[in-house]
Chains A and B, each alone.
Chain A
Amino acid sequence: MYRVDITADLNDEDETGYLWTFLDEARDPGQITPGALVVAGDEDTAAVCQVVDLAPAGDGTIVHLRLLPGLVDDYRQLVERALAS
């Protein structure tokens, strides 16, 4: 069960080759800035992504996300290793 920063269908992709979703699907839209690392997806499937850009579309703002390799748990282990005393 994941608590994501921004809800997305990780299957979605547009002509940029990036994953996309809407900014207003973020828990805190203020966190969604170019370059930021976020967890995207839903409660069942999530991935670590990097925000590429934001662009107006439809009645809101689309967020493009670069899908980073690895599982969310891989990043947790990475951080634990890095911070181990």
Chain B
Amino acid sequence: MAGGRIEQRLRLRAEPPLSEAAVLVRGGPDTQDKLARHARRTARAWSLDGQPLLGISVFAVLDIPLDELLSARFATYRMIHMPAAAWLRDRGFELLPTGLRPHYTVRLRRADSIELDELLAALGPPVANVQYARSTIWREEGRDVPRRHHRRSQ
């Protein structure tokens, strides 16, 4: 079965842009190859303004403390990237408020080797995840995820 790319423009959360100092988290460590694969997967599923959306996922440290986000969502990652929003914006990457808060998509334009190198640099070096193996429960249906988002099983 195939349903066409999921258009994200009308699904973007109506939120003010992240502050320059906002801290983002992405499980890593990333490589140029991994970033390319993940960006292509997003473009295969999602579009923005009718065009395939090349992008990778990050989470912003919003609403809950960093340690709580790390233990709930990133406990399987030994290493993480923690760029400030400004690091990505300064290199020309747009941050799209996709999915549920605090998820964002870092938008790429071409995902060629030059841009992927820029993205890798903007993400900064991987650092040890202090909450590795200390997992708690992430989103729960009914509590964190509105029931309407759940589809019936196929």
Contact = CB atoms under 8 A, between A and B. Distances in A.
Interface in B80-117: 98-100, 103
A42 B144 CA distance: 27
A44 to B, nearest CB: 8
A55 B76 contact: no
A9 B56 contact: yes
B154 A17 contact: no
B137 interface: yes
A44 B99 CA distance: 25
A60 B44 contact: yes
Interface string A1-32: 00000000111111111101110010000000
Contacts of B56: 9, 11
Contact of A71 (B6, B59, B133): B133
Interface string B53-77: 0001111000000000000010111
A46 B5 contact: no
A16 B11 CA distance: 12
Nearest to A59: B2
Contacts of A20: 45
Contacts of A62: 45
Interface of A: 9-18, 20-22, 25, 34, 41-42, 44-47, 52-62, 64, 67, 69-72
30 contacts: A9-B34, A9-B37, A10-B27, A12-B38, A12-B57, A15-B98, A16-B151, A17-B100, A18-B145, A25-B41, A42-B34, A45-B76, A52-B150, A52-B153, A54-B153, A54-B154, A55-B3, A55-B151, A55-B154, A56-B2, A57-B2, A57-B4, A58-B2, A58-B3, A61-B2, A69-B75, A69-B135, A69-B137, A71-B75, A71-B135
